[in-house]
Chain A
């Protein structure tokens, strides 16, 4: 089964402070290890919300709000899709990643599969 591991931004990430070379190396190392464990299907990180936009829909009307937004810690900083045997396994992988990436929160959510929809 697949899980989407999403880590949240810190204020520093939102402010565009790049991770130190050591942190970048550690993240690279982790990604390599996750690939070697055969569990990493896909993953991306996103830039600060100042480079993004938000669509808000009310009563069918779409309002487009350009970033940045005040609530930096409520924003996703990136995701990884892991294929593992259980939620617990996904959590153990996420735990290692969370310690390296310097985030304050990581959500681990199961990806809906075709078989869920029947």
Chain B
């Protein structure tokens, strides 16, 4: 059966080709609104032409050529307009013919990178950056973006309009940041990618535990960015981290939709292709011989888990050492808590408790249920059952999650039994 569904083919081509078409158009015309308008004109031209002639053998090439033609046409008209103004103003008009050819045929990698930098511009809030990036760089329509974020379409549409307005008002045009500015700009891009991934991964809102389409888009963006900046170790680190985290998506949910923690997961369900990709990225980072940043370190930690075929094979001393490194360059109470867990597993509960004690008074951790849960676990392993019971009860009181609360209550009850038994 031969398929020739024109509207469906065009929708697919928009998704596949529009990012690079828009990227090139933004570079030629400078602003996103004009670029989007020309991209839409290109697809309208395709409908009109292909309805009669059929879909060409290489529709992508047709679309790219047509977009280029429309862009050049737009610049010429704009230039003629300016020319007229300039004549009126009696200034010397300049030839732009040469400029156009120079501008129009550039490197696709530069185009895409420039578009990514523009839609992830730090002047925008992370939410605005995410929405704009998913629309322009991933080729999603506003409805898709809204569904992914579980937000009303009008909210997302507003957010995108405002983001574009903010960029225009600040006169931010297509640009490739120079070497001094680039690290901070890449940070802003990576922040968006990790935010989109985590939005899908932890599903902070809504009823679905994993909204995998957001994870897919984040992976796609990460893969794009890594191929565009192949020697940037933090970008490779971010991609390695999310490839490995994504390898566990199928194992993270139990048969009744309940979350399954890392150490309890069925590791045969882990996606070995994604793990191999993650480990290969970590090898590339090692070959770059730079000092590891926060993403590269988190990726190295994730890799330790990925390499262990059984939970009991986990290289805890190495994980503890990596957390030591992470706590030095990127200190935070959550990192410290994870360091306590790894240290406890590697060097015994007392070593873990020494770290936990420093956290118990931390203001940011006062209502964080995982802190007493970890403290309870370590105290229990150390044989301090009464102390453990108090921690588990506190964890049960702090968590908003029903199944988690009953787990904590059960552990408190087990501790009480132990305590009575040993008294």
Q: A residues bordering B, Cβ < 8 Å?
A: 32-33, 35-42, 81, 83-86, 88-89, 91-93, 95-96, 99, 113-115
Known: A41-B273, A42-B273, A95-B58. A89 touches B220 (CB 8 A): no
Tell whether, in the assembled complex, residue A38 and residue B222 are in contact, meaning their CB atoms are under 8 Å apart: yes
Known: A83-B220, A88-B9, A96-B58. A37 touches B16 (CB 8 A): yes
A83: contacting residue among B9, B57, B59, B219, CB under 8 A: B219
Among B91-99, B117-125, B165-173, B223-231, the one that faces the other chain is: B223-231
Q: Which residues of B have CB within 8 Å of A35?
A: 223, 227
B226 CB, nearest partner CB in chain A, Å: 9
Known: A93-B16, A95-B58, A115-B250. A81 touches B273 (CB 8 A): yes
Q: Does B195 contact A (CB under 8 A)?
A: no
Q: Does B60 contact A (CB under 8 A)?
A: yes
Q: Which residues of A have CB within 8 Å of B112?
A: 36
Q: Given the complex of chains A and B, what is the CA–CA distance between A42 and B224 in angstroms?
A: 14
Q: Which residues of A have CB within 8 Å of B8?
A: 88
Q: Which residues of A have CB within 8 Å of B36?
A: none
A15 CB, nearest partner CB in chain B, Å: 26
A117 CB, nearest partner CB in chain B, Å: 10
Q: Given the complex of chains A and B, what is the CA–CA distance between A92 and B18 in angstroms?
A: 13
Tell whether, in the assembled complex, residue A38 and residue B16 are in contact, meaning their CB atoms are under 8 Å apart: no
Known: A38-B219, A38-B222, A42-B273. A88 touches B228 (CB 8 A): no
Tell whether, in the assembled complex, residue B60 and residue A41 are in contact, meaning their CB atoms are under 8 Å apart: no
**Which residue on chain A has the smallest CB distance to residue B113?**
A36
B215 CB, nearest partner CB in chain A, Å: 11
A14 CB, nearest partner CB in chain B, Å: 25
Q: Given the complex of chains A and B, what is the CA–CA distance between A99 and B60 in angstroms?
A: 12
Known: A41-B277, A81-B273, A83-B219. A89 touches B16 (CB 8 A): yes
Q: Does B83 contact A (CB under 8 A)?
A: no
Tell whether, in the assembled complex, residue A36 and residue B228 are in contact, meaning their CB atoms are under 8 Å apart: yes
25 sample A-B contacts, Cβ–Cβ < 8 Å, listed by A number: A32-B227, A33-B108, A35-B223, A36-B109, A36-B112, A36-B224, A37-B20, A38-B220, A38-B222, A39-B223, A41-B273, A81-B273, A83-B216, A83-B219, A85-B15, A88-B8, A89-B12, A91-B12, A92-B13, A92-B17, A92-B60, A95-B58, A95-B59, A114-B250, A115-B250
Q: Does B221 contact A (CB under 8 A)?
A: yes
**Which residue on chain A has the smallest CB distance to residue B137?**
A38
**Which residue on chain B has the smallest CB distance to residue A34?**
B227
**Which residue on chain A has the smallest CB distance to residue B269?**
A114
**Which residue on chain B has the smallest CB distance to residue A114?**
B250
Tell whether, in the assembled complex, residue A89 and residue B15 are in contact, meaning their CB atoms are under 8 Å apart: yes
Q: Which residues of A have CB within 8 Å of B269?
A: 114
Identify the 10 closest CB pairs spanning chains A and B, nearest first: A38-B220, A38-B223, A38-B224, A88-B12, A35-B227, A114-B250, A92-B16, A36-B227, A89-B12, A89-B16
Q: Which residues of A have CB within 8 Å of B221?
A: 38
Q: Given the complex of chains A and B, what is the CA–CA distance between A115 and B210 in angstroms?
A: 14
Q: Does B19 contact A (CB under 8 A)?
A: yes
Q: Which residues of B have CB within 8 Å of A96?
A: 58, 60
**Which residue on chain B has the smallest CB distance to residue A91?**
B12
Q: Given the complex of chains A and B, what is the CA–CA distance between A35 and B221 in angstroms?
A: 11
Q: Mark B4-46, 1 if CB is under 8 A from A, else 0.
A: 0000110011011101100000000000000000000000000
